[in-house]
Amino acid sequence: MKGNMNIHYDEEGDYLEIGIGSPEGTFVRDVAEGVFERVDEKTGKVTGIGVLSFKKRTANLQDITLQLPVKIQII
């Protein structure tokens, strides 16, 4: 899957979503409680993931710093 990586974090809802390309033509599949993946209807490939209660789940992790912009190509 080629495309831009989109990262969205909603602090108020404590929700993180990471995806490649447009969400059109995809469906959502539950992976675990509060975790889902977005799947391309035609190829069956995962194009995104969403995590509810992200901060709560990662409370023991240190801050992560990225130098932006980041270019990632996923094939």
Query: pLDDT digit string (tens) for 9-64?
Result: 888 998 999 998 888 899 999 998 999 999 999 999 999 999 999 888 877 766 66
Locate the domains of the chain by residue range: 5-57
Tell me if the pTM is above 0.85: no
Q: How far apart are CA 13 and CA 2, in angstroms?
A: 29
Q: 20: burial class by Cβ within 10 Å (0-12, 13-18, 19+)?
A: buried
Q: Which residues contact 17 (CB under 8 A, 6 or more apart)?
A: 6, 7, 8, 9, 48, 49, 50, 51
Give, as one character, the DSSP assignment of residue 37: E
